[in-house]
Amino acid sequence: MQPEHIIVHQQAATHVAHIQLNRPQALNALNLQLMTELKTALQTLDADEQVRVIIISGNEKAFAAGADITQMAGKSAIDMYNIDQFSTWDTIKKTKKPLIAAVSGFALGGGCELAMICDMIVASETARFGQPEIKIGVMPGAGGTQRLTRAVGKALAMEMVLTGRFITATEALQAGLINRIAPVELYLEEAVKLASEIAAMSPLAAKMAKEAVLKAFDSSLEEGLHFERKNFYLLFASEDQQEGMQAFIEKRAPAFKGR
């Protein structure tokens, strides 16, 4: 069945896939259907050998303005427990391929959290990041207190979570939340450029390197170093390792195949 709230663009030649959130009338608020469609698309693209890097974007006005408040407003705690809307995020988190968020306009609440679950963020000059859940009587529920704090540190995370203040793209860059800023008419192109650069590397090395970097967030240094070393050694089972090193020795560009 065709998804209703996302559009998937795929170009085999570049190995870059692009998922566009598409509920513009609600500033891409993340309702249950959209999140399920996103989860399914990511699972499909993660399993597709032609795809090496995945971009998630919204539109110029909004990446996503958070979880769908109208869908949640009348729910009881038991409804929330049974629906377990954040369980889709556990699957999204398992995406092995690098994920790039291309953010323009609002990235709020679940929208900011979705950008942060991605591995890198390219923002337009108009991007605004915030965790404004406090203003509607709740708090972040999909990683906002954890990933934001790890990215920008306690002081700014506390301020954003407790006051709901939005930060600009420039502040986000200074705080270490995002990778780069581009003019609004170029931010998507910039995200594709970054994705294409990564897609030219060995996809196996990229997946294992991503896994190892993420390990730094939930392990001791010793465990993380051990994990990193195992992945490093494991890559010597790949043809891409032989190709990469041979190409260096022969002073030519490598042609990685993902094997």
SS3 call for 240: helix
Hunting for tokens 């923002």 — which residue is that? 123
Of 95-103, 139-147, 149-157, 228-236: span binding ligand CAA (CB under 6 A)? 139-147
Told to check if 98 binds ligand CAA by CB under 6 A, we report: no
Count of residues for the chain? 259
CB-wise, 77 or 221, nearer to ligand CAA? 77
CB-wise, 8 or 26, nearer to ligand CAA? 26
Q: What is the pattern of x (binds ligand CAA, CB under 6 A) and - over residues 160-189?
A: ------------------------------
Shortest distance, CB of residue 136 to ligand CAA, whole angstroms? 5
Judge whether 53 and 98 are in contact, CB under 8 Å: yes
Q: How many angstroms from the chain centroid is the CA of residue 257? A: 24
CB-wise, 121 or 194, nearer to ligand CAA? 121
Within 13 Å, how many C-alpha atoms sit on residue 254's CB side? 19
Hunting for tokens 């993420």 — which residue is that? 214
- Looking at 58, 66, 110, 143, which residue is catalytic? 110
Shortest distance, CB of residue 6 to ligand CAA, whole angstroms? 16
- The angle, 0 to 180 degrees and rounded to 10, between the axes of the packed helices 203-215 and 221-234 is 170
DSSP state of 99: E
- Looking at 29, 66, 105, 133, which residue is catalytic? 133
Told to check if 70 binds ligand CAA by CB under 6 A, we report: yes
DSSP H or E stretch at residue 103 = strand 99-103
Which residues in 31-60 contact ligand CAA (CB under 6 A)? none
Largest Cα–Cα separation, the chain: 65
Hunting for tokens 């989860």 — which residue is that? 39
- Per CB under 6 A, the list member of 53, 63, 103, 110 interacting with ligand CAA is 110
CB-wise, 89 or 256, nearer to ligand CAA? 89
Told to check if 190 binds ligand CAA by CB under 6 A, we report: no
**Encoded tokens for 29:** 């608020």
Hunting for tokens 């931010």 — which residue is that? 187
Residues with a catalytic annotation lie at 67, 110, 113, 133
What is the contact surface with ligand CAA in residues (CB under 6 A)? 26-27, 29, 65-70, 106, 108-110, 113, 132-133, 136, 140-142, 144
